[in-house]
Structure 1
């Protein structure tokens, strides 16, 4: 034990010098060929200018470039420019969604010509990656995608390191999971692979992510997409990145100022500890590090050293204000315009099925009106075609609205193709839906969609002159997919979700529009289904039932200004009024800024006095309120209060389980392989063992085909689960039952009454 401890103490500070690195990469060094991406060159130059100083003081970089400006490659180029040429690059790119992680990993593989030795892609579920790669291979086989790298694979140098000669690494890398996370110079992973670095509740789980942070830099992609409850864990990760010597980049076009400031303060606090212990003069003067900070977007780049929070805050506000002004100029000729659509006839209705019955006709009417104004013409059939998104806040109401839509009759001469997209489909069905949408909604070449076999067959098979392809989707449609819709109808939840969703409308096609192509309902369904006075813009959203963060009205016409409604973009989110000027009960965006401040920034603390008597001391202790726990508690409190225990990770865990944990269901074939039977996946006695327990058949209602057989409205997507399962099993060369166990699963909320299911609709709670 003493010998091992001695080796760790001796070799840990320099172990990163023995790990592989990525160097002399031509694509990461070469200048952009297209004017649109020249900002990447300037951003990389800005990073290179602070390379030397960042070795001593650390670096905190904010990339707020707009979507579709090459932000993913820009982040890699920035971190490559920041790395020492002699030591080469090591960096982890952490994301919140599996699909986005897989897409980013594929982008690096294709754009940079990286192989498995250079690039590790780690997502939570191996089944997701298998299906992703399967559909990619199918797309390549049909000619709709190309796997050819843009560069030859020998256009870079892999500095292999000497892991076998390092006592610590030799021992650590014997574990294959540690090796996968640690060895590759570039790591693209879901963030849950790194958050255990600060959560030492179970022995050993923190070691691999901690070593990764100690041996390379960190990029956080879309950190503002995380739930408010996950911000403490995100803050702990950034604090430890600073404490362990990493440099950090935040990447999102919609970063709110309180989130950026809170993460900077956490990083600065961690870097101070690093300065005291790991720099050339450890234990020296207590002078705070002058963190090397950079702000970049497609328009501006600037670099400043920020030893204090106040200087960082001031410069960030100036940068965000410049971006706000630039976005305002673009808003003069917007590619997206929005309008509020008043909800009618729902007052007094509480039950979700009845709400859906009254709501669905309004959805269809809005979709038809948007189609009339925003469509493309198929040059072969001369039919008018549009692809639209109907975004709903929650899956259960979405399921009911889908049932109602299939029973409606569209106007004469018009056919609706309806895709129901949310997270409660079996994995293989959801993956097939996403692959279908990935092909149809790539609109860089607007008319290419008419060459897709599925779209062509649907247009040729019916006489209607107008075709609406509608995606009825949950919030999963807002992030993680590079989709371009002609128009959108929105049930609102928050300003953040409106901005994210607006980015999916005409995403790939420039040019202004003259009339609204986004219609936002004035109220959401939760407003009608809950009791008067209860929060409605929640789950998802920022509203609570308490006084401080409870909206006085749920009518968007009162919560948003005319300017915010007319052109929905990132301006309200990236610039915040002063704290005293916020009106969180009266303005939707102010509610979000106020909650973000409350969750991220240090709370005002009451100065404690020291009375002489014991009774006076006790009275004073009772009089001083306990500080509110938030994300800043981790780094703001004294180390003995926070860092040396697992108390805060226990109180503020990453992705906290609900009181009733979600359960996993699987649709497995019967003995004849003809029908699917519902099973619940249970943990076995042995580690990693799964048991499949058949659910009582009375608890699984397989909906008949009649529910999706409407008049000129038909499903767009998978309608036969067993057929899709059999095809996948054949393509992957797997037994049917094994394929179902791996890819026929989904996660649902517990429900004593059971569930309803149809392949075109997914799972929903069974009505009691």
Structure 2
């Protein structure tokens, strides 16, 4: 390859660059090199330049080839030295001719900086009390009766006593040295108080006071401990009446926030040890920033403090507090002189920072970080000019991506100015994941490059999506980070997905990509804008590797939990990195409708924040309900409106996009009513197209038998009758939907039985093994799959299922060793392989079954599950039923002959709720229409049908409409979050009553070790990790019982079996330096409900002990 290199480096960077490039190429000018070079050599040069790049580095590399063709390959360092084609300007001017920066500038950036810095100077005044100083000096770990931030607030209120305007407040602070001389005993009235009326304070005083008191923990209105309490508060508390004025009027020291009623003696915490405000350097800094505030018109003209100002000022203060507190000063004089006020101690419990130094240090850091905020989006790494994003596909079923890309690109500038909210509803197998990335790339500013986050609900989906995108986009882990909770989960996934070494291991099938492969030379290099932010600016924020990746990586694929802390964090700084991610990257929410409806309020809060921080949002799912989409649009629009106001943009309407394999459209929309109208038009066209397709999943309803579930002593008989019915139906489906083994001509099918709860799965499985009246010449192979299994055993089972049920090549099934062994061990002609599992089978697994039997929970779960039938075989058409649905769900069956009418049976999972959303019947035949049954697809989810009555599908639509009451006269606990006149950004009441992923029952983490005799030993993980390489002696075996199953029925045999010993032995070869105790501690883990007795078997996992 002929390579041309041009350097626009300055100062020492030019010397460094010359030193490196001179080793690879000959100069043909002062700053120019040209040479032939191999691809490997160029890759080495690229890495060396990136490794040594500094702020004055700017090197462009060009590939000259063909007839007068020159392509820009990459730029290392400062991209502003070149244009998009890599050309250098003839002349430069410092005048901002285009004025984009000034037009889109943060109008209140300086206001944020000034107020946050003033709050930083005041935030820890409450640490000057006798009680707090004694606690630090004597290393007491006990809590405080009143936290120091509450005392700080009271001191601030005394400082500004009798100030009635913003001008008076700031003037008092600017001249506080004079005020102290006039009233030296200004703080003598500091006394125990649990309540303040702050509603009469001037606006800026409220802002400063709120920052002071919330800099560790967000306020809440009352203690919330129990689920019943949460539900009561959703109904009773006037959520829509919590105005900002009423919030400040009833401001009080709430238990669990800043008050601890368990400590009664609080006198020392209301008495100052000495007056910290006498520090001359502190007074000078306070005077400086208060004076600046007085002379800053945008601040003085503010009429309200919106949620963006609140969040970013608190962010600046907390980043500074975290960073400066982490600095080890170890003031020796302060350690010796007890009269010196200190702010904190070191690891040795010795005085670390003086209090006045701490206040000044935090203030300096706050001012610096606040200045950085407006620049952060442009300074963090981004991907520019990456061909896999722009490469057009000629494969017919992926060509809609080209149109979507072109359409999005034509709206790039409008979306930059007005925001973007999109919906991708393309069907499975149409390349939605890659299309989402291409749409976001098209919408990105070509000068800055693209940064986006793909947030998903499940770990396994996150890992799969991240891995697929890395391959398809030719990105490294530096450019595309994959973040999931639990290191062990990711380690096991990577081990199971190690690439097979073949001759074509680096080649990727265009059919898989949805695009043609690009030239290999170009794929090697990723045009990334380097970070213009020094690590020291972020400090402790990026000490954690996950936080660093979350902030720095241009593309992040993560579980949504990594972002949720931005809105859901109640205390501490865990929200900082997610907030910076939302502020600097666009958001793709993948399958947001897979979340439980109880999690949707938190999801809406996240979407609101994405709009508030100026990001674009794209929802991706083929089964999104109209009310959910409209609700999330309403949230985004409310947030984006505030962003536009703060950045000098007009609110002309959000750019909204709809995409699927049939149509792509974009509209500028100013209100939710108009949005719903356009969405309905899009859905009607989509439904018409879907109805023209062939029927691939046809359903039937199993007859309701007289199951004797209503009496506890008859439970086994009820499960036995159902088990026989299930096996009969499985055999019936097998005869219609089997495949022939080409070697033996035996008939094989793989089916799925899905039930709502693990306990029902286990009771049914026991009865299935005991069935004797079975069809002749049939062998059943049964595997149980649910979430309550040791991590290692579940991971290895999922690896086998993923491989066996990948049926893109239908005949590949017969090459799987687990299938071949099962066929070989039985002379039966018919082999029916059954996966019996819980809702984990519905989402997250790319499995292809021949047929399915489903316990109904909701229309959503049925649609998700039937998507696993013939998933990889689009050519198959359902001439007869291939999905059977039970006549009701098991919870209803256990409620007698009336099937539990007037009680909520279709719940957990399901949408039925007391008292508003109860079904009139629990018979499946009356809950699913004949039209829905004849062709099971996404239509009932994406369009409401009021003519159908209260079906399962309509129940879901009613619940969604109730969650997001768009244009209702009164907001609820979901929509109140984005009402600008309410105080739900001043407190976390909504987060407490509608938390994300509420854990209703406390859980313990256990590990399972094997002793020298092969016996199971269950221990608490935290105890086992105290000596990770040894057998844990402290066991909890009394909570566990090994259930010794007998597999005496030769016609029904367990399949895909594994033991703990076999699993550890298998994984040990990858970790030769770890013994089996250490491997067990890392991988044989399980989270189980506390105070519950469990049965365990390695084939079946954990289930409740009925004895």
Same fold at TM > 0.5: yes
How many Å apart are 1:158 and its aligned residue? 3.3
Partner of 1:140: 500
- Check if 1:656 corresponds to 2:656: no
Structure 1 residues 101, 159: CA separation in 2 closer, same or farther (over 3 Å shift)? same
- Check if 1:404 corresponds to 2:767: yes
Does the CA contact (< 8 Å) of 2:669 and 2:675 recur in 1? yes
- Check if 1:9 corresponds to 2:370: yes
Does the CA contact (< 8 Å) of 1:17 and 1:161 recur in 2? no
Partner of 2:309: none
4+ aligned runs moved over 6 Å, structure 1:
683-686, 688-693
Q: Structure 2 unaligned segments of length 5 or more: list them.
A: 1-361, 510-516
Task: State the distance in 2 between where 1:692 and 1:570 align.
Answer: 51
- Check if 1:363 corresponds to 2:726: yes
Partner of 2:791: 427
- Check if 1:268 corresponds to 2:625: no
Does the CA contact (< 8 Å) of 1:751 and 1:765 recur in 2? no
Among 664, 675, 698, the residue aligned to 2:1015: 675
Task: State the distance in 2 between where 1:213 and 1:766 align.
Answer: 45
How many Å apart are 1:10 and its aligned residue? 1.4
Task: State the distance in 1 between where 2:963 and 2:604 align.
Answer: 11
- Check if 1:576 corresponds to 2:949: no
Does the CA contact (< 8 Å) of 1:718 and 1:724 recur in 2? no
Does the CA contact (< 8 Å) of 2:687 and 2:939 recur in 1? yes
Task: State the distance in 2 between where 1:695 and 1:349 align.
Answer: 38
Does the CA contact (< 8 Å) of 2:384 and 2:529 recur in 1? no
Among 965, 973, 976, the residue aligned to 1:633: 976
Partner of 1:220: 589
**Aligned pairs for 1:498-517 within 5 A:** 498-510=862-874, 511-517=876-882
Q: Deviations over 1:484-507 (max 9, x none)?
A: 100001111000001001111011
**Aligned pairs for 1:34-53 within 5 A:** 34-53=395-414
How many Å apart are 1:742 and its aligned residue? 1.2
Task: State the distance in 2 between where 1:350 and 1:508 align.
Answer: 43
Among 730, 739, 749, the residue aligned to 2:1069: 730
Partner of 1:178: 547
- Check if 1:453 corresponds to 2:796: no
Among 1094, 1098, 1103, the residue aligned to 1:755: 1094
Partner of 1:311: 674
Task: State the distance in 1 between where 2:775 and 2:1088 align.
Answer: 36
SS in 2 for 1:667: strand
**Aligned pairs for 1:175-254 within 5 A:** 175-254=544-623
Among 323, 336, 342, the residue aligned to 2:703: 342
Q: Deviations over 1:566-608 (max 9, x none)?
A: 1110001101146xx784xx311111000011112347336xx
How many Å apart are 1:694 and its aligned residue? 4.7
Does the CA contact (< 8 Å) of 1:61 and 1:248 recur in 2? yes
Among 84, 91, 98, the residue aligned to 2:452: 91
Partner of 1:257: 626
Task: State the distance in 1 between where 2:1041 and 2:777 align.
Answer: 35
SS in 2 for 1:194: helix
Task: State the distance in 2 between where 1:157 and 1:524 align.
Answer: 52
Partner of 1:528: 893
Partner of 1:463: 827
- Check if 1:56 corresponds to 2:56: no
Task: State the distance in 2 between where 1:94 and 1:328 align.
Answer: 31
How many Å apart are 1:326 and its aligned residue? 1.2
Partner of 1:488: 852
Q: Deviations over 1:694-740 (max 9, x none)?
A: 5554432212241x342221111133222222222233323101111
Partner of 1:475: 839
Q: Deviations over 1:394-435 (max 9, x none)?
A: 101101111111222332211111110000110111111111
Among 962, 968, 979, the residue aligned to 1:598: 962
Does the CA contact (< 8 Å) of 1:113 and 1:149 recur in 2? no
Task: State the distance in 1 between where 2:377 and 2:738 align.
Answer: 55
Among 15, 20, 36, the residue aligned to 2:381: 20
Does the CA contact (< 8 Å) of 1:681 and 1:693 recur in 2? no
Deviates more, 1:347-356 or 1:536-545: 347-356
How many Å apart are 1:748 and its aligned residue? 2.4
Does the CA contact (< 8 Å) of 2:697 and 2:883 recur in 1? yes
Among 1052, 1067, 1070, the residue aligned to 1:713: 1052
How many Å apart are 1:157 and its aligned residue? 2.6
SS in 1 for 2:1021: strand
Structure 1 residues 172, 666: CA separation in 2 closer, same or farther (over 3 Å shift)? closer
Deviates more, 1:80-89 or 1:478-487: 80-89
Larger Rg: 2
Task: State the distance in 2 between where 1:68 and 1:25 align.
Answer: 24
SS in 2 for 1:130: helix
Does the CA contact (< 8 Å) of 2:1030 and 2:1078 recur in 1? no
Q: Deviations over 1:150-204 (max 9, x none)?
A: 6648525332423454763466434433212111111000000001111241221
SS in 2 for 1:140: coil
SS in 2 for 1:110: helix
Deviates more, 1:469-478 or 1:81-90: 81-90
Structure 1 residues 543, 736: CA separation in 2 closer, same or farther (over 3 Å shift)? same
Structure 1 residues 555, 126: CA separation in 2 closer, same or farther (over 3 Å shift)? same
Does the CA contact (< 8 Å) of 2:386 and 2:527 recur in 1? no
How many Å apart are 1:222 and its aligned residue? 0.2
Task: State the distance in 1 between where 2:495 and 2:472 align.
Answer: 20
How many Å apart are 1:149 and its aligned residue? 5.5
Does the CA contact (< 8 Å) of 2:710 and 2:895 recur in 1? no
SS in 1 for 2:1018: strand
Structure 1 residues 551, 689: CA separation in 2 closer, same or farther (over 3 Å shift)? farther
SS in 1 for 2:497: helix
Does the CA contact (< 8 Å) of 1:164 and 1:170 recur in 2? no
- Check if 1:666 corresponds to 2:1007: yes
Does the CA contact (< 8 Å) of 2:567 and 2:609 recur in 1? yes
**Aligned pairs for 1:674-713 within 5 A:** 674-682=1014-1022, 694-706=1034-1046, 708-713=1047-1052
Structure 1 residues 83, 693: CA separation in 2 closer, same or farther (over 3 Å shift)? farther
How many Å apart are 1:273 and its aligned residue? 0.5
Task: State the distance in 1 between where 2:536 and 2:614 align.
Answer: 22
Among 392, 407, 419, the residue aligned to 2:755: 392
Task: State the distance in 2 between where 1:99 and 1:227 align.
Answer: 17
Does the CA contact (< 8 Å) of 2:415 and 2:654 recur in 1? yes
Partner of 1:623: none
Q: Deviations over 1:368-402 (max 9, x none)?
A: 11001001001111000001000111101101111
Task: State the distance in 1 between where 2:883 and 2:1030 align.
Answer: 45
Partner of 1:550: 918
Structure 1 residues 144, 290: CA separation in 2 closer, same or farther (over 3 Å shift)? farther
Task: State the distance in 2 between where 1:77 and 1:657 align.
Answer: 37
Among 723, 728, 742, the residue aligned to 2:1082: 742
Task: State the distance in 2 between where 1:149 and 1:350 align.
Answer: 58
Does the CA contact (< 8 Å) of 2:753 and 2:853 recur in 1? yes
Partner of 1:566: 934
Task: State the distance in 2 between where 1:683 and 1:87 align.
Answer: 49
SS in 2 for 1:189: strand
Does the CA contact (< 8 Å) of 2:568 and 2:996 recur in 1? no
Partner of 2:471: 110
Partner of 2:176: none
Across the two proteins, how many residue pairs are aligned to each other?
A: 726
Structure 1 residues 507, 232: CA separation in 2 closer, same or farther (over 3 Å shift)? same
